[in-house]
Structure 1
Amino acid sequence: MDVNIVHSFFLIFAGAAVVASVALYTKQPLILAYIALGALFGPYALQLVDQPKLLDGMSHIGIIFLLFLLGLDMQPSHLFNMLKKASWIAIASSLAFAALGYLTAKAFHYTEMESIIIGLAMMFSSTIICIKLLPTTVLHHKHTGEIVVGLLLLQDIIAIAVLLALVAIGNSSNDSDSLQHYLMPIIGLPTLIVGSFLLVRYILLPLISKFDRFHEYIFLLSIGWCLAMATAAEILGLSAEMGAFIAGVALATSPISQYIAINLKPLRDFFLILFFFSIGASFNLDLLGLVIWPALALALLSMVAKPTVFRYLLKGLKEDKNTSWEVGFRLGQVSEFSLLIAYLATSLGLIGVEASHVIQATAILTFALSTYVVILCYPNPIAISDRLRRD
């Protein structure tokens, strides 16, 4: 391994251990400590870690494992029922948040295209924050967790459509390529779902049944299956995260699924630390003065509007008030997809660097605000109060 990578890993994880200790003593969320460490050590501050692109790629694996483990906790029948019930809520809420983001960006005098992109970035909630703050042994099997996860998955589908549309706009000179980008996911999603369940039934489950006493083999088989489906999803025009989630759901019917989930958690946490570090490291602190006010306005509007919108939309599903508010606050932030939208739109020349950093700053602020709300008010694995701490 390159000595610079070893040095970077030492700084990240030694630094993470220090800031985690400080955060625990001062009763602060660990997630925010990792982001702050990234901003401090990254290329725009102390410049101690100068390979943010490499770290960003590695941290992406953490999100893949997170979605795979989530899928292992989901029974397909419950999941499909929730997706069917919540689809109109995901669409209606996404349109409302897009309009809110667009109007706010226009109020700060961003261009028409930049306002549209900022509006699109406001549509989604963070899968990684929401799932990180869901108790894995409690809410995943309860109604609140099913609603949160169902809405996140529907938002992921909408986000993929948005990303494809941006690519099509950016490459509008080649109509055949744009059409191919739209058609591939439409064909790829059902192909991936059917293929995954067939492979699990006729290949993975027989292998697991025959060699389940070899724990190392089960560990390797599950990692290989997760990454194979993530790769297949990308080839079919979908996201790697969606492929990993489908891999987990397909394997959830196996009696050994919980054993796999427990043993993969340390590996997931390793990569998630890299993910949060890379968010902080990628933010250009020199632009903070330009973007802080629009970002703060968007963040506060997100934290107020999202719970309110979900509260009233969920009335249509006959959900009680407490459940609706909890779902809304858990989904109150913007998404890591928003960061991807900002990066893609900037690389395609659709928005400027300042607008891109507005989206990034909004994401970081809502990550922080949402995390505080959830850890102080609702059951979660990192709650400050023992009464709310659930793993």
Structure 2
Amino acid sequence: MVAHDLVFSFFLIFTGALVLATVALYTKQPIIIAYIALGAIVGPFGLSLIEEPELLEGMSHIGIIFLLFLLGLDMQPSSLVAILRKATLVALISCALFFGIGFGIAMGFQHSALDSLVIGLAMMFSSTIIGLKLLPTTVLHHKRVGELMVGLLLIQDLVAILTLIFLGSLGSGINADEVSPPLWQPFVALPLLVLGSYLIVKGLLLPLIRKFDRFQEYLFILAIGWCLAMAEGAQAIGLTREIGAFIAGVTLATSPIAQYIAISLKPLRDFFLVLFFFALGAGFNLELLSQVIWPALVLAAAVLILKPVIFRYLLGNMSERPALAWDVGFRLGQISEFSLLIAFVAFERSILSEQGSLLIQATAIITFALSSYIVVFNYPNPIAVNDKLRRD
């Protein structure tokens, strides 16, 4: 019965995605919007053809893991250190400013101080998926825009981890015996994970690759196994799976087969990213939208307008070219999948009201959609409807 349900769910998702993506291309709309719309249509709050999308949502996060792994494969450790040094100050200042904006708007709409705190925290981050999915591969790995975006998103991911740990230490969770990790844990866990990854790659994986590099199937399995092992290892020591996957990619980047692995895993990544956007649409309760539509629109407008301006100003002060600073700002002009996770954790621990959680979800979907429109129609990207802007 489960197998039938899963196969039927995949049939609905990918056949429906085919239909709506075709319509989107004919009408010159971003394909991402088609995936989100499909989730809303057939999900539990639409036609209820898929009533429990939790399994698919869990599977969809594998796409994010592969995305970060492939990103790491094209980044040498020495260049990563230089990028993080430049991006850290900009990322931290921008997080503080976005928190203040979100907190102030939530308070202005009569949300409680605790709700406003969580909403402000959720506004701090930009989407790794939207930002990197709409960035051409050549720009992502070989241009300044890609380097800055990677650095900013990585710092934001670390801040997000600390935020989740902070929220986990508050309120009362569902499990009474649940113990949250201390705030210092990520700062200890991260260097240990990097060191352990480096030693395993140097002492075990590279010798295996040299010995069996003629067997393409083995290399494919080795790459997936290493990526997911590091993802789970990071999760186990208090970090996130995404950071573990990125470190797995960076430490394997010195291998001569890094580019082969990146090309081999790209279709697998895209498969799971379709599930991610579908699950995002399916998880949104359309019946309650009227309760938060106006604050969601104001928050979304603030994010879409102010994030590019703030990044432009901060990066301009770091001697980056204005055109490049605007490019980065608009590509990061949305909130994040981490924002949705913050809303879930805070609601689960009775810190955030249902209305506050819905507000964050609505703002995420609005900014995901409109930010995609802005980038697809104005900047080079892999899914542009304009041939002049399409870059793989």
Specify if TM > 0.5. yes
Which residue of 1 is the match for residue 3 of structure 2?
2
Change (3 A) 1:176 1:31: closer
Tell me how far 1:176 sits from its aligned partner. Answer: 11
Which residue of 1 is the match for residue 216 of structure 2?
215
Tell me how far 1:183 sits from its aligned partner. Answer: 3.5
* TM-score, structure 1 as length reference: 0.97
Secondary structure of 1:181's partner? coil
Tell me how far 1:50 sits from its aligned partner. Answer: 1.5
Whole-Å separation in 2 of the counterparts to 1:271 and 1:119: 29
Whole-Å separation in 2 of the counterparts to 1:269 and 1:139: 16
Whole-Å separation in 2 of the counterparts to 1:161 and 1:171: 18
Which residue of 2 is the match for residue 231 of structure 1?
232
Whole-Å separation in 2 of the counterparts to 1:51 and 1:6: 14
1:316 counterpart letter in structure 2: N
1:383 counterpart letter in structure 2: A
Which residue of 2 is the match for residue 272 of structure 1?
273
Does the 8 Å CA contact 1:378/1:388 hold for their aligned counterparts?
Answer: yes
Residues 162-203 of structure 1 deviation map (CA, whole Å, 9 limit, x = unaligned): 00000011359999944x432332221111101111111111
Whole-Å separation in 2 of the counterparts to 1:251 and 1:140: 15
1:374 counterpart letter in structure 2: V
Does the 8 Å CA contact 2:132/2:140 hold for their aligned counterparts?
Answer: no
Secondary structure of 2:191's partner? helix
Does the 8 Å CA contact 2:172/2:350 hold for their aligned counterparts?
Answer: no
Which residue of 2 is the match for residue 240 of structure 1?
241
Residues 87-128 of structure 1 deviation map (CA, whole Å, 9 limit, x = unaligned): 111110000000000010111111100011101000000001
Does the 8 Å CA contact 1:134/1:140 hold for their aligned counterparts?
Answer: no
Which residue of 2 is the match for residue 27 of structure 1?
28
1:108 counterpart letter in structure 2: F
1:268 counterpart letter in structure 2: R
Residues 231-273 of structure 1 deviation map (CA, whole Å, 9 limit, x = unaligned): 0000110000000000011111111111000010111111111
Whole-Å separation in 2 of the counterparts to 1:182 and 1:117: 17
Whole-Å separation in 1 of the counterparts to 2:169 and 2:124: 19
2:323 counterpart letter in structure 1: N
Identity %: 60
Which residue of 1 is the match for residue 129 of structure 2?
128
Which residue of 1 is the match for residue 157 of structure 2?
156
Whole-Å separation in 2 of the counterparts to 1:384 and 1:150: 28
Does the 8 Å CA contact 1:181/1:237 hold for their aligned counterparts?
Answer: no
Which residue of 2 is the match for residue 45 of structure 1?
46
Runs of 4+ in 1 over 3 A off after TM superposition: 171-178
Whole-Å separation in 2 of the counterparts to 1:89 and 1:313: 6
Whole-Å separation in 2 of the counterparts to 1:235 and 1:168: 17
Tell me how far 1:46 sits from its aligned partner. Answer: 0.2
2:212 counterpart letter in structure 1: F
Aligned length: 390
In structure 1, stretches of 5+ residues that fail to align are: none
Whole-Å separation in 1 of the counterparts to 2:317 and 2:256: 36
Whole-Å separation in 2 of the counterparts to 1:139 and 1:9: 30
Secondary structure of 1:295's partner? helix
Tell me how far 1:51 sits from its aligned partner. Answer: 2.1
1:117 counterpart letter in structure 2: V
Tell me how far 1:137 sits from its aligned partner. Answer: 2.6
Does the 8 Å CA contact 2:213/2:219 hold for their aligned counterparts?
Answer: yes
Which residue of 2 is the match for residue 285 of structure 1?
286
Q: For 1:295-310, what aligned pairs fall within 5 Å after superposition?
A: 295-310=296-311
Whole-Å separation in 1 of the counterparts to 2:264 and 2:101: 42
